Amino acid sequence: MANVSSITAQQLHAVMNSSQEAFILDVRNKEEYSSWKIEGHTTKSINVPYFNFLDEDERNYKDLPKDRNIVVVCAKGGSAQFVAGLLADKGYMASVLEGGMLAWSQFYYPTVVASHSSLKFIQINRLSKGCLSYVIVSEGKAMVVDPGHNIEIYTELAKEHLFTIEHVVDSHLHADHISGGRALAELTGATYYISSGEVKGTDLHYEPLENHASIRFGQAEVDVLAIPTPGHTPGSTSFLLNNAYLMSGDTIFVGGLGRPDLGGKPKEWAEDLYDTVFHKVSRLLDDVLVLPAHYADISEMNADGIVGATLGHIRTNNDIMMNADRESFTEQVAGAADTEKPPNFEEIVAINRGEQHVVPERAAELEIGPNRCAVHHH
């Protein structure tokens, strides 16, 4: 069998970001593929399960191009190696995604949202999970919002852009991925903030977010307003930067709202979410850019590679944001309790509350899979 080259997650993303179309052959089973796959605006992906290739059936190859490279993807890389070898023997150009979907799940990509003399604002996209975190930099000082488990991305950005991380905040207690908040704060000596309602009953070391209406650093104009926005969780908090950018956590998404059922009180939390949407967020202007902690679909990413939309756009395009009837809204949003919950969410919550400790290998396993923290109604 012919030897085939490999491609890293970073290299694959570079191809996806270029003008050429990336062609992906995913050889995981159909269920895994349908729930979670690599997507991009210029990416074509097809699924032919690995076991199909154990039979000499030419139908396995009918949708594969001969004129460009095919990136073969599986869970961890082994099955893809075998299939790519078969393709190479038949004259196809093929490479293997090194480490498979496990490696893709650990890839983070930064995009600058805004940059001028007194402020640099960066969105970090963990593409595999649809997880988003943020770094706000002013005068060499920084605040990190909703950091992911791989905290190296933030310390590397600090070296690259010459800033010191002074503040680390979690908008809420995350259920679908392990927060890097406490670890990043401990490593850098930064203050770690979270709403006390999220972690009461634990011995977690934190600064209660509700004690800080604003967190100021660098230039006076950098003023991060902490706005309690319960609904997804009781202590969910959004952050308004310079009256222009709303880091909305899992409260408001480009295409939906945070699901209220993960704490087992869907109706009660859905009513909180109603108050948040119609009594708090309603006060913000239409031109505020909403930047959430998650996204569920590649369509939520704009042409600049940023996941976000103005509040005005969301208000006029998101049906659920227009449902001002409290009872109807509550029923609609609480219905999310019938949808699939994030895998391993109870264990992840326990880790994020500081009640359990986890080794890196187990952390990677727990986090594999799509984001399921949103209620989407279009």
Distance between first and last Cα of the chain: 48
Give, in degrees to the nearest 5, the angle at Cα 18 between 48 and 112: 115
Catalytic residue list? 74
CA 146 → CA 17, 44, 71, 261, 268, distances in Å? 25, 31, 31, 21, 25
Residues 153/134, Cβ–Cβ less than 8 Å: no
Indicate the pairing of strand 94-97 with strand 374-376.
unpaired
Give the C-alpha separation, 165 to 363, whole Å.
24
Tell me if residue 306 falls in helix, strand or coil.
Answer: coil
Q: Which residues contact 36 (CB under 8 A, 6 or more apart)?
A: 101, 128, 368, 369, 370
